[in-house]
A and B are shown apart, each in its own frame.
Chain A
Amino acid sequence: MNGHTLTCENLTIGYESALGEPVTFTVPPGSVLAVVGPSGCGKSTLLSTIAGVIPARSGRVLIDGVDVTQMPTHARKVAMVFQEPLLFPTMTVRDNVAYGPRRSGASASEARSTADELLSWVDLAGLGDRNIDQLSGGQAQRVSLARALASDPAVVCLDEPFSALDAPLRSRLAADVLALVRRTGIPAVHVTHDPDEAETMTLNNSSGSILSL
């Protein structure tokens, strides 16, 4: 599998003071690391630090062996999917998904075709021209997933992406994410407060693991 590797070495996180002990882990290509822990323990802060939204207090973040700790967010190729879809409100569904490819220099038609392909993959073909306020909660979250994948990321960070969804949709999207990780070899860091969800995400993944904060 031709994928990417995420490594965190002695990484200390936190805004003003360090949250917990330094963490060290590696997420190999095509693997899922489930991060579990109670509210306020720093799960989401860990993802933000990996993505470069919050600077690391100490330690290093490496992607494919390259130290990206000081790299700005937009250059890291770490895509995030949040608890809420966070779709751009002034854009159509297709423009949301095409946003990442356009930022990496794809032409409008290339970005459009990438977006349509990914919308098909999340079973939303034909909804590209819709405004985002015409989507259901589940559809919007799938668009958010498609948007993250369309940017050709090296790592995907999932910040409780299924918590606002009902149980059947949750398990379906979890299966979609696992299939994607296997197919593309993109390592995923999945934050959840639900131990069952963490088990589902890792047991169904040959090299999955759980990190408790």
Chain B
Amino acid sequence: MTQRLNELRRSLLVSLWFMLLTFPIMVIRVNTITGTVRWRWTNLAVIGIGSFFISVVWRYAMQRKAGEAQAVGILSRVGERVGAGTKKIGAVLDIPKVRTRLVGGLLAAAVAYPFLNSMYHTNIMITALTYVVLGLGLNIIIGLGGMLHIGYAAFYAIGAYSYALLNMYFGINFWLALPIGAALAGLFSLLIGLPQLFGIDMRLQQTTVFVYFIMLAVVILTIFVVHRLENSRIGRQWVAMKEDYIACQAMGVSIAKAKLTALGIGAIWGGLVGVIFAARTTFINPASFTVWESVIILSTVVLGGMGSIPGVFVGALVLMLLPEYLRPFAQYRMLIFGALLVTMMVFRPSGFIKKRRKAYTITEAERQSVIKAELEDDGEVEE
């Protein structure tokens, strides 16, 4: 009881601290033209009460994370249920049959999506899928190769510009520009790594659906390629490089080569999507490809779960769809988004879906048989 009182007292102190901290910015509003000050005391009360409750929940969550929370109250029981539930879901998902059905279902839903929803929703989805591909491309560089890259939007820009310029000056159509843009982005990435729409006349509605399907196809292609890459010789080299630089070199892997291939192959997806982006919006300028864009792509990868394909997929969808559907709270959406990123990293630093490492669990019977065999070997030597 005293402990809980103590906790409440600390939360009270936290709320007082935040009331002090936010005072000048939240309470005082000066109109410099008329020379009047508005004191917004209600804001102070909101901050005080809000930070008190957030602090109580935050402390509790922290203790739980540290594994020292006592099993009291409704909160912990809910937490346990959720924990057990996710484990169960995870186990069910491991069954191959369930997996194929799930993937099939998702695919069917994805194909049906533009016909069941309005153009507005389809457009949002295209953007979200764009970020899935960008996220997966960056994932090759960060999640597999272990290189921090905060300029990924540049590759995206190269793709977009190569389409725009090729189309404008040489009349090269979308399909031909797609591989050229991707190749150019790949080439440019190597340059950086060294120091270390349509001819067919279509209505707007048709165009949107068309772009949606191109995007969907690109997403599927990306997932397929990245998945295959992950298990390939190059993919394993990347992971080895990420895990231990020196050990990897000692095993005969060329670090320079592995780094450049990761950058190059990662950048290709940026270029590819850049071409689609330019073709879709029919207008690009440098403001579309700022550092902020790179930061958002990086966030999708880390939030979703570095190195994990479903993780990046979910991360990109959540990150792009959430702000879009939070538009009713337009004023607050970026605030909520920022707070969400911090909270996520504090309580689940490995992202929504953690990358599962290939592991082999030895059963008790196997272990016993190995021990037995070893004992027999030893016996022979002694004789």
Q: Do A and B originate from a single complex?
A: no
